[in-house]
Amino acid sequence: MPVTKVLTAGIGEANLRDIDVYRQRGGYKQLERAFKTMKSADVLEAADKSGLRGRGGAGFPTGRKWSFLPSNDRPRYLVCNSDEAEPGTFKDHMLLEETPHLVLEGILLGAYGIGSHHAYIYIRGEFMRGAEIFNQAIEQARKAGFVGKNLFGTGYDLEVTVHRGAGAYICGEETALLNSLEGKRGEPRLKPPFPAVAGLYGMPTVVNNVETLAYLVPILEKGAEWFASVGTERSKGYKIISISGHVQKPGNYEVPLGTPVRELIEIAGGLRPGRKLMAIQPGGGSSACIFEEHLDLPYDYESLAKAGTMLGSGAMVVMDDTTDFVRAAHNLARFFAHESCGQCTPCREGGDWLETVLHRLVEGHGLQSDIEMLNRVGHQITGINLCPLGDSIEPFLLSVLKRFPEQFEARVIRETVKA
Amino acid sequence: MATRAEEFPALLERLRPECEEIIARYEHSRSALLPLIHLFQSHEGYASAEAQRAVADMLALTTAVVESTVSFYTLFFRKPVGKYVLQVCRGLACSINGAEDIMAYFREKLGIGHLETTPDGLFSYEEVECLAACDRATCMQVNLDFVYDLTPQMIDEMLDAMRAGTYSVVPMAQTDKPERTWKVLQDTQVSQGGKSLGAIDQPNPNNGSGVDKDGVIMIDRILAQQPRFEGRTKERLANVEPTITTVLESEDLQ
């Protein structure tokens, strides 16, 4: 079985919230080594060489993201994105609550790597307990001398601040997150300028996902080559996959990228007895479905992109033959309509109308023209918004509409009479 | 007994050191807006008009800016809520694992719907988006504490324990009597028959305390009065049964 434990090592076995337990297991050694023997540029180089790609959804190479920071002496910030709200994703929730020190060490390493003296972690408002746990971790680390002034006697000051959100999916988008962190409405900004040039308070900023930053610790420990030796050509290393839905053992499983989808479902206990696989949403609520014929697809960025979908945040929702796909499509359309910030008309109005029409179908009051309209309208919402939320409404809907048109047609009550 | 609004200055004085400590955490004071509202909400049970005004004063912002920001976030309640805020996940993974039945059970047991509070002020009920606990569907939060793998039996026990005051989660602070709903609607909905505007020194339903001294125009309507689209679809279909073309024209789907 390809399940490996890198970030997930020790979870469920030891109380990793306790800094002493974490240190006994080798915690904060990499931080100390980085501060004492490495330059910032060395950390960046390790991140770059490892081929680590952003684990939050977009999959952008981490080292390259860091290298976009201009080389000036303006203050720069590292922001850890823990606004995990993509439907089906629950890996950051686990990391934050179960192994907060690993996340903190990753944040500290990342901040050192880009030369930042103030790092922020934006935690989703619903994770109230997670924020408490993380605050305790910071206090423990402060006492041990890993956070605060003059770290390890090098004269390097580094502060970490927890910022709790208050319930908005859109704040997972990096510029919306920065606005929310600045105390504003969580509305995405126009890009460019990208955060690397003008981010938090107008200063150069890097926003990285929790899992991305946490992987810096094993990368420094075992070397960039170790990380790069796993996975596929362009998808290096390990990834925590959140598997949920109609599987017998839903949960977070850490595997090398490129593991076949079939194997992932087996790891999660397989389908319930006597059930047939209908669809898999491989990368969170924003991704198109893959089906039975894709079971041997390697689970990595480029293979999924080739199949017309995406890896996203690594959230796999498995659906068997008990699933009502009209309801499922309505569910996600409602989600995006609810979470749209309302700045761009196609997303705000389009999402709302799609929800209305899909609700009509769910209720069995659909019109024949609805199905044709759904096919047509989906594409008109995509690619013309400030942020990718609008683009996320359509993939799931169109993929299941194409695959299971009979489920949608069964909800149509009468033929269209053209006026 | 003093009302909540009368007690607010004392609360503000008590919390001021903590507020200053929060503001000092950030390099720009405005960043403290969300944590300050979280703080006041934890003491008052909701983000009251006084709290929003106090935060505006502390951060040198206008009340309108604070309210505009607060209204963006779903976890800030701008009206009093029940002692137990029950937020049931309606995300996809929960939904395909029976969340619809769980939600129906809740609505039946509580006798209220989405975004409503029971008349005794004990429960507020909301159906929320994915809570990031899909491996333990169906899940919910009670005052932001997670409850996993819900079953009807668990719900019965939970509600009984809450009514008896023995439930393990700390109840929300409740400084004002909750209204039926805490949802505040936007101005686009006025055109659809929503309630009228608030105005300077007029009683305003968005302010827990009643009168809107700042003249911030706010719009509100009790959710129950709003015909949701599902109702509208049904009504329409019932009314225009013979001529389906009217439906099409009225919606202008083409």
Contacts of B25 in chain A (CB under 8 A): 161
The backbone torsions φ and ψ at residue B200, rounded to the nearest 5 degrees and listed phi first, read -55, 130
pLDDT at A363: 85
CB contact under 8 A, B93 and A416: no
A356 touches chain B (CB under 8 A): yes
Residue A194 DSSP symbol: P
User: What's the rounded Cα separation, in Å, for the pair B84 and A171?
Assistant: 26
Cβ contacts of A164 on chain B, cutoff 8 Å: 34-35, 38
The pLDDT of residue A378? 73
Question: Which residues are A290's β-sheet partners?
Answer: A280
Q: Indicate the residue of B30, B73, B93 with minimum beta-carbon distance to A182.
A: B30
**CB count in 10 Å sphere of residue A410:** 12
* Residue in A with minimal Cα distance to B26: A161
3-state SS class at A253: strand
| B114 part of contact set with chain A, CB < 8 Å | no
Q: What is the mean pLDDT of residues B31-38?
A: 97
DSSP notation for A54-93: -SSSS--BHHHHHHTS-SSSS--EEEEEE---STT--HHH
The sheet carrying A205-209 orders its strands as A148-151, A156-164, A118-123, A77-82, A205-209
Sign of CA dihedral A29, A32, A37, A40: positive
CA distance A325 to A321: 10
Is A135 near chain B, with CB under 8 Å?
Answer: no
Residue spans of chain A under pLDDT 50: 417, 419
The answer to whether residue B251 scores a pLDDT higher than 90 is no
Among the listed residues A312, A281, A283, the one whose alpha carbon sits nearest the alpha carbon of residue A399: A281
Q: Does B135 touch chain A (CB under 8 A)?
A: yes
Q: Indicate the Cα dihedral angle B181, B183, B188, B194, nearest 10°.
A: 10
Give me the pLDDT at residue A415, please.
56
Query: Which residues, in sequence order, are CB contacts of B160 under 8 Å at separation 6+?
Result: none
Does residue A419 sit at the B interface (CB-CB below 8 Å)?
yes
Nearest-CA distance B173 → chain A (Å): 16
**Is B72 in CB contact (< 8 Å) with chain A?**
yes
Question: How far is it, in rounded angstroms, from Cα B137 to Cα B62?
Answer: 42
Find out whether B48 and B179 touch, Cβ atoms under 8 Å.
Answer: no
- In chain A, what are the domains? 19-228 (3.40.50.11540), 238-320 (3.10.20.600), 325-414 (1.20.1440.230)
Whether B69 and chain A come into contact, CB under 8 Å, resolves to yes
Q: Which two tokens stand for residue A236?
A: 């290096």
Place of tokens 């309505």: A330
Handedness of CA A132, A137, A141, A146 (dihedral sign): negative
Token pair listed for A33: 């080594």
Contact check, Cβ <8 Å, B130/A246? no
Q: Which of A168, A180, A357 sits opposite B74 (nearest CB)?
A: A168
Looking at chain A, the number of H-run helices and the number of E-run strands are 17, 13
What single-letter amino acid sits at B90?
R
SS3 string of B93-134?
A: HHHHHHHHHHHHHHHHHHCCCCCEECCCCCEEEEEECCCCCH
Mean pLDDT, rounded, for B184-189? 48
What integer pLDDT is reported at residue A367 of this predicted model?
Answer: 83
Distance separating alpha carbons of residues B90 and B98, to the nearest angstrom: 10
Tokens of A160: 């970490």
pLDDT 10s digits, B81-124: 999 999 999 999 999 999 999 999 999 999 998 889 999 999 99
Model pLDDT for residues B190-244, shown as the tens digit of each residue: 444 444 444 334 444 444 444 444 433 333 333 334 444 444 444 544 554 444 4
Cβ distance B72 to A129 less than 8 Å, yes or no, reads: no
Locate the domains of chain B by residue range: 4-70, 84-164
| Chain A closest-CA separation from residue B97 CA (Å) | 7
Share above pLDDT 70 across residues of chain B, in percent, rounded to a whole number: 72
Residue pLDDT, tens place only, B163-181: 999 999 999 999 989 988 8
Which chain A residues in 12-71 lie under 8 Å from chain B, judged by CB atoms? none
- Indicate yes or no: CB of B233 within 8 angstroms of CB of A363: yes
**CA of A325: how far to CAs of A362, B94, B233, B244, in Å?**
9, 14, 21, 26
Our CA-based measurement puts residue A167 at a distance from the nearest CA of chain B, in whole angstroms, of: 5
List Cα–Cα distances, A64 to A67, A143, A256, in angstroms.
Answer: 5, 34, 22
Query: Chain A: nearest CA to B39, how far in angstroms?
Result: 11
Report pLDDT for A113.
95
Return the percentage of chain B with pLDDT > 90, whole number: 65
* Token couple for B175: 């400084």
**pLDDT surpasses 90 at B46:** yes
Which positions ≥6 away from B231 have C-beta within 8 Å?
Answer: none
Residues shown for chain A: 419
Structure confidence at residue B222 (pLDDT): 32
Q: Measured between CB atoms, does B189 come within 8 Å of chain A?
A: no
C-alpha span between A278 and A273 (Å, rounded): 14
Q: Looking at beta carbons, which residues of chain B come within 8 Å of A130? A: none
pLDDT of residue B193: 43
Percent pLDDT > 70 in chain A is 98
The ipTM value here is: 0.94
Chain centroid to CA A352: 24
Chain A residues lying within 8 Å of B68, measured CB to CB: 185
The C-alpha of A89 sits at a distance from chain B's nearest C-alpha, in angstroms, of 6
Which residue among A93, A250, A356 places its CB closest to the CB of B132?
A93
Instruction: Tell which residue, A304, A281, A224, has the closest CA to residue A59.
Output: A304
Q: Do A126 and B90 touch (CB under 8 A)?
A: no
- What pLDDT score was predicted for residue B35? 97
Contacts of A239 (CB under 8 A, 6+ apart): A55, A211, A254, A255, A256, A257, A311, A314
Structure tokens at B58: 């502390």
Backbone angles phi, psi at A162, to 5 degrees: -90, 130
Residue A414: its pLDDT value, please? 61
Superfamily of domain B84-164: Glutaredoxin (3.40.30.10)
How many contacts (CB atoms, under 8 Å) link A and B?
A: 178
